[in-house]
């Protein structure tokens, strides 16, 4: 039986092995593994890639968010608005910063935050909005920025999933105060472990996060309150090699997404991903939804049984996790039915540049086989 895996990072490594190995070798020979020259080089490359003034490498994408909140002075007693069908870490970062997470619904089509729901959630305690570029597609940043400006709020883009994506007439980073990035293995730009970064044009946020990530220190033996959350130079070397390929890799993801969509558009039991006109959706994930929640696990089981490693992102909305909110501050404003439906019906099909046409077609054939048999 054909087997189609969910991840392609080993294939990706083999495809550009000499470039990655050369950078790893360079770091090993340099003798500088933490905050060394390779990190500095990668931070400069990442900032330039985004057309931003600053990029600070940190331990992971979650830390990037709460370090940004902390650098903005947002914490206890403050509220931060996001949506509940994102990866858990978005809310977790708000709680780590000590703030209250306020959840509003997502847009029924894009699954990103619905800007029309934000204003009713704003109180005098609201300090920031965290839109998530979910599945590889930018949230409606112009609408989010407009609301933020009207209420003097900060905006942090959670861009763990959409590096190199863009809106119809805006770039990532352009309409926010700071943008977090995650480099964990499976991300479009992933290293062989954990990593993250914060992008900003604000020199104050850059300087504060730079200090916070390194035990509150920018000078040997001189400290203030801080943490240890740095992007190791070995990871920076891997990422520097991969950054040169990210645009082409994302183009390939978009081609596989188009092939999936063409092959699945006749399915009667599924909703296919919605790409907003003019947006560059880089398909970190290709997520279909079953029309009925009861069909989701049936589709998932069918695919797994037939060799397709499908998964769910994310099958339990944050506010539906057991024990929510664990004594932390949380509010749900209005109906979050779209987010709950997304959690109940989502299925992610294998999506990575290194897939082959045969694999994509095999997945399409199995999904259509299930669709035909489904009642
Ligand atoms: C939307 C989103 N936010 C935040 C994170 C957290 O990133 P990390 O795992 O690097 O901490 C992730 C990924 O893991 C994510 O998908």
* Chain centroid, CA 314 distance in Å: 12
Burial state string for 314-339 with b = 16 or more CB within 10 A and e = fewer than 16 = bbbbbbeeeeebeeebbbbbeebebb
What's the pLDDT at 1? 86
As a dihedral over the C-alpha atoms of residue 5, residue 302, residue 346, residue 183, rounded to 10 degrees, the angle is: -10
What's the pLDDT at 217? 98
What's the pLDDT at 144? 98
- Whether the CB-CB separation of 341 and 315 falls below 8 Å is answered with no
What's the pLDDT at 375? 76
Burial class (CB in 10 A: 0-12, 13-18, 19+), 60: buried
Nearest residue to 153 (alpha-carbon basis) of 64, 72, 54: 72
Give me the residue label for tokens 């998964």: 311
3-state secondary structure of 244: coil
DSSP 8-state class, residue 101: E
What is the rounded CA–CA span in Å between residue 239 and residue 194? Answer: 11
What's the pLDDT at 288? 98
Residue 188 CA, ligand 1 centroid: distance in Å? 12
What's the pLDDT at 88? 98
Nearest residue to 165 (alpha-carbon basis) of 297, 284, 307: 284
Residue 60 alpha carbon, nearest atom of ligand 1: 10
- Is 60 a pocket residue for ligand 1 (Cβ < 6 Å)? yes
Residue 89 CA, ligand 1 centroid: distance in Å? 6
What's the pLDDT at 60? 98
- Is 87 a pocket residue for ligand 1 (Cβ < 6 Å)? yes
Residue 345 CA, ligand 1 centroid: distance in Å? 21
Atom 7 of ligand 1, residue of closest alpha carbon: 61
Per residue of the chain (375 residues), give pLDDT as tens: 899 999 999 999 999 999 999 999 999 999 999 999 999 999 999 999 999 999 999 999 999 999 999 999 999 999 999 999 999 999 999 999 999 999 999 999 999 999 999 999 999 999 999 999 999 999 999 999 999 999 999 999 999 999 999 999 999 999 999 999 999 999 999 999 999 999 999 999 999 999 999 999 999 999 999 999 999 999 999 999 999 999 999 999 999 999 999 999 999 999 999 999 999 999 999 999 999 999 999 999 999 999 999 999 999 999 999 999 999 999 999 999 999 999 999 999 999 999 999 999 999 999 999 999 997
Residue 90 CA, ligand 1 centroid: distance in Å? 7
* Chain centroid, CA 322 distance in Å: 23
- Is 90 a pocket residue for ligand 1 (Cβ < 6 Å)? yes
What's the pLDDT at 3? 97
Residue 65 alpha carbon, nearest atom of ligand 1: 4
Residue 86 alpha carbon, nearest atom of ligand 1: 1
- Is 23 a pocket residue for ligand 1 (Cβ < 6 Å)? no
Residue 315 CA, ligand 1 centroid: distance in Å? 16
Residue 160 CA, ligand 1 centroid: distance in Å? 5
- Is 208 a pocket residue for ligand 1 (Cβ < 6 Å)? no
- Whether the CB-CB separation of 194 and 60 falls below 8 Å is answered with yes
Atom 12 of ligand 1, residue of closest alpha carbon: 160
Residue 339 CA, ligand 1 centroid: distance in Å? 18
In this structure, what token pair is assigned to residue 340?
A: 């709950």
Which ranges of 163-285 would DSSP assign to H, the alpha helix?
A: 203-212, 233-243, 246-264
- Whether the CB-CB separation of 100 and 78 falls below 8 Å is answered with yes
What is the rounded CA–CA span in Å between residue 153 and residue 144? Answer: 10
Atom 8 of ligand 1, residue of closest alpha carbon: 61
Nearest residue to 182 (alpha-carbon basis) of 73, 249, 90: 90
Global pTM value = 0.98
What's the pLDDT at 125? 98
């Amino acid at each position: 039986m054909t087997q189609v895996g969910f991840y392609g990072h080993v294939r990706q490594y083999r495809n550009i092995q000499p470039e990655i190995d050369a950078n790893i070798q360079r770091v090993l020979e340099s003798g500088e593994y933490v905050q060394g020259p390779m990190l500095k080089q990668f931070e400069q490359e990442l900032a330039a890639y985004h057309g931003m003034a600053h990029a600070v490498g940190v331990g992971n994408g979650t830390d990037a968010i709460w370090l940004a909140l902390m650098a903005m002075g947002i914490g206890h007693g403050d509220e931060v608005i996001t949506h509940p069908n994102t990866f858990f870490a978005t809310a977790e970062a708000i709680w780590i910063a000590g703030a209250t997470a306020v959840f509003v619904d997502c847009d029924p089509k894009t699954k990103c935050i619905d800007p029309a729901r934000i204003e009713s959630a704003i109180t005098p305690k609201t300090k920031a909005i965290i839109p998530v570029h979910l599945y590889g597609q930018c949230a409606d940043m112009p609408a989010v920025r407009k609301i933020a400006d009207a209420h003097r709020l900060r905006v942090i883009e959670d861009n763990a999933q959409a590096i190199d994506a863009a809106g119809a007439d805006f770039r990532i980073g352009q309409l926010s105060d700071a943008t977090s990035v995650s480099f964990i293995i499976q991300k479009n730009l992933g290293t062989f472990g954990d990593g993250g970064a914060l992008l900003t044009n604000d020199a104050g946020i850059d300087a504060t996060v730079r200090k916070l990530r390194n035990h509150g220190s920018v000078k040997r033996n001189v400290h203030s309150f801080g943490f240890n959350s740095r992007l190791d130079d070995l990871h920076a070397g891997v990422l520097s090699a991969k950054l040169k390929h990210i645009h082409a890799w994302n183009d390939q993801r978009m081609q596989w997404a188009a092939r999936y969509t063409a092959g699945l558009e006749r399915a009667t039991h599924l909703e296919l991903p919605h790409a907003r006109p003019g947006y560059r959706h880089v398909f970190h994930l290709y997520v279909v939804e079953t029309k009925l929640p009861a069909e989701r696990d049936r589709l998932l089981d069918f695919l797994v049984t037939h060799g397709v490693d499908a998964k769910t992102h994310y099958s339990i909305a944050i506010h539906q996790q057991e024990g929510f909110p664990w004594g932390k501050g949380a509010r749900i404003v209005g109906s979050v039915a779209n987010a709950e439906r997304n959690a109940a019906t989502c299925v992610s099909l294998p999506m990575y540049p290194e897939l082959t046409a045969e694999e994509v077609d095999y997945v399409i054939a199995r999904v259509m086989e299930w669709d035909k048999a489904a009642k």
